[in-house]
């Protein structure tokens, strides 16, 4: 009896046996006390700001370049404005094609760094560069081949069509190195480094502006018109791609290009594509929806009003890119944090990060919207020398201001889902909001009800609202926390 009593007393005094290192936490939703190594220290709000602000600087540079290109085109002709605006759409669509690789790469790199495994992130980078080179070749060949088809679909005159084809085919030469630039920047951001991509892209934007203005105005030779704008873009992308390639070879936190890791690895390639294929399908859906939408815009009235509506829309898209500055910056921060916190087994922190990022971005978009409303006439006066474009564009743009916070928050929520690897849901979102809401709504408002540019934009605004609602609903549901990558 005394022996058993002594044993019981010893067990009461003994410390509890620690769980094995591999044992899962008792509450997987409980946040871990440590910040993943790829993220800055501090509160979630501070982490988001530190990641987002360099990206905001990068987006500001991109916006200014787009603005410069549109300003230069506006001084040439209405057709030049349409050509440059359409090329921006095509460039955006090729960026969506690159999502086939970049979406999967971002999710895997962020998860790897969150789990403290930079070696796996390096393998992902190498395999992603291989895949992205293939995407760049396909994008360049595709745009070159279908440029006349795009021009014929969207233009009504031979002069405008020729200008579209010239611009698009010159622009296609920049896609190969542009693809390398895109994937290296994506990997760096997912690893928590948003400053290096910012520096590279600001340099790219300076080259773009200087070369484009030099060639358009003929400072070193005869003026080249829209061909000069396209050549400036190609030169800038090429230099940016070479800079990104150099950074990847030198390496960042054990993540670098090596000859051994550049050999095709079917396992990693499949993991990247398993996440990226729904992203590519989403890109295809968005491509179809956007082209149908801008076709509707071009059909809202006979010439010359139809051409003015189209040019005004392209100017509005360039100006609305101001809202995309905080949207894309805070989306990138949210995607990085969601991926890294999921990798660190902290899904509750990942969910909170998405909500905080959406709130911060929405507030900034609301401030931008106020300026859109107040300065609409001035902005269109600067962007075009065509009185009819100014007349139809400024009132419609003033109404566009009211949907900007919803647009921004929808982008952030859906981008955070991609950071988690939940690309099937975002594909579904784009299918519903793009093809089933935007295009029919634009046709109804712009053509059937004869609402002109504002009527067509009603379909675009409905798309923004539905996209935001579906993204928020998915976050509240929580199914994205269980997605395997």
pLDDT at 143: 86
How far is 438 from 456, CA to CA, in rounded Å?
9
Share of the chain above pLDDT 90, in %: 29
pLDDT in tens, 301-318: 777 777 788 888 888 887
How far is 268 from 201, CA to CA, in rounded Å?
28
Share of the chain above pLDDT 70, in %: 90
Q: Are the C-beta atoms of residues 326 and 56 closer than 8 Å to each other?
A: yes
In SS3 terms, 302-326 reads as CCCHHHHHHHHHHHHHHHHHHHHHH
Q: With 60 as the cut, is the pLDDT of residue 293 above it?
A: yes
The SS3 call for residue 252 is: strand
β-partners of residue 252 are 255
pLDDT at 396: 86
How far is 349 from 31, CA to CA, in rounded Å?
6
Q: How confident is the model at residue 432 (pLDDT cuts 50, 70, 90)?
A: very high
pLDDT in tens, 27-66: 444 444 467 777 888 888 999 999 998 988 877 777 777 7
Q: Which letter, b or e, does each residue of 402-417 get, where b requires 16 or more Cβ atoms within 10 Å of its Cβ?
A: ebbbbbbbbbbbbbbb
Long-range own/partner contacts, residues 350-353 (CB < 8 A, 24 or more apart)? 350/420, 350/481, 351/475, 351/478, 351/481, 352/44, 353/44, 353/47, 353/48, 353/416
Q: Which residue has the higher pLDDT, 318 or 134?
A: 134
**Strand locations in 262-421 (E):** none
Q: Which residue has the higher pLDDT, 472 or 35?
A: 472
pTM, 2 dp:
0.76
């Amino acid at each position: 009896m005394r022996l058993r009593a002594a044993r019981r007393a010893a067990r009461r005094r003994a410390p509890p046996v620690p769980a094995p290192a591999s044992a899962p936490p008792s509450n997987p939703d409980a946040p871990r006390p440590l910040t993943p190594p790829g993220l800055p220290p501090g509160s979630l709000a501070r982490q988001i700001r530190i990641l987002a602000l360099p990206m905001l600087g990068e987006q500001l540079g991109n916006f200014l370049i787009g603005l410069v290109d549109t300003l230069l085109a506006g001084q040439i002709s209405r057709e030049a404005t349409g050509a440059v605006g359409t090329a921006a759409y095509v460039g955006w669509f090729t960026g969506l094609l690159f999502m086939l690789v970049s979406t999967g790469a971002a999710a895997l790199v962020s998860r790897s760094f969150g789990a403290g495994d930079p070696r796996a992130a390096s393998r992902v980078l190498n395999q992603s560069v291989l895949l992205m080179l293939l995407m760049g070749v396909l994008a360049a060949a595709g745009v070159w081949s279908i440029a006349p088809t795009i021009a014929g679909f969207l233009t009504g005159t031979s002069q405008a069509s020729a200008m579209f084809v010239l611009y698009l085919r010159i622009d296609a030469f920049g896609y190969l190195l542009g693809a390398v630039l895109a994937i290296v920047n994506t990997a760096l951001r997912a690893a928590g480094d948003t400053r290096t991509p910012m520096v590279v892209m600001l340099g790219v934007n300076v080259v773009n502006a200087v070369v484009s203005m030099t060639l358009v105005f003929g400072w070193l030779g005869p003026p080249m018109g829209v061909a000069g704008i396209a050549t400036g873009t190609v030169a800038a992308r090429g230099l940016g791609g070479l800079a990104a390639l150099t950074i990847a070879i030198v390496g960042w936190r054990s993540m670098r290009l090596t000859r051994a890791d550049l050999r095709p690895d079917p396992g990693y390639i499949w993991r990247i594509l398993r996440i990226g294929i729904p992203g590519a399908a989403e890109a295809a859906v968005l491509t179809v929806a956007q082209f149908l939408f801008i076709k509707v815009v071009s059909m809202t009235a006979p010439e010359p009003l139809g051409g003015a509506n189209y040019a005004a829309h392209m100017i509005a898209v360039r100006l609305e890119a101001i809202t995309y500055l905080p949207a894309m910056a805070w989306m990138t921060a949210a995607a990085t944090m969601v991926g890294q916190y999921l990798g660190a087994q902290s899904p509750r922190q990942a969910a909170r990060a998405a909500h905080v990022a959406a709130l911060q971005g929405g507030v900034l978009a609301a401030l931008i919207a106020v300026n859109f409303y107040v300065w609409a006439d001035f902005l269109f006066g600067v962007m075009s020398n065509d009185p009819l474009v100014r007349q139809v564009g400024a009132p419609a743009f003033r109404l566009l201001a009211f949907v900007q916070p919803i647009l921004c928050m929808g982008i952030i929520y859906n981008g955070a889902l991609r950071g988690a690897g939940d690309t099937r849901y975002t594909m579904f979102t784009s299918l519903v909001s793009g093809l089933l809401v935007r295009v029919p709504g634009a046709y109804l408002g712009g053509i059937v009800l004869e609402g002109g540019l504002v009527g067509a934009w009603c379909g675009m605004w409905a798309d923004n609202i539905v996209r935001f609602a579906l993204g928020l609903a998915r976050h509240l549901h929580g199914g994205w926390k269980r997605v395997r990558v």
